[in-house]
Amino acid sequence: MSRLKLMFAETFDRLHFVAENGGQVVSYGKLLCQEFMASNDVEKLLRYFNYDLLDKPTIFNGAKSAYMLSGTKLHFGKEMIIEEVQAAMEASINV
């Protein structure tokens, strides 16, 4: 959602969003609903990646912020996201 807020900064409060793989629905800037993974599902995900999140950059989105392991490097490529938006997005993630 934080990336969408950056991308649609001028019109965010006038649009509807279904984000986070359907886990968040926002309408006109108001959160309508959100669902999160159960902690045992997060544990399964970490085991799947063998706790090697530096080599497999992963962002976990929570209710109030996004999180990633310190030292993680994100590389979206210029065709996916402009540098200014990537920098702003990375600044909003807690490490």
Domain extents in the chain: 2-94
With tokens 């800037």, the residue in question is 29
Q: Is the distance from CB of 6 to CB of 88 less than 8 angstroms?
A: yes
Q: What is the mean pLDDT of the chain?
A: 79
Bigger pLDDT: 40 vs 26: 26
**Which residue in 74, 47, 44 sits closest to 59, CA to CA?**
74
The beta strands (E) that lie in 1-95 are given as 16-19, 24-27, 30-34, 60-61, 66-67, 93-94
pLDDT at 36: 82
Q: What percent of the chain has pLDDT over 70?
A: 83
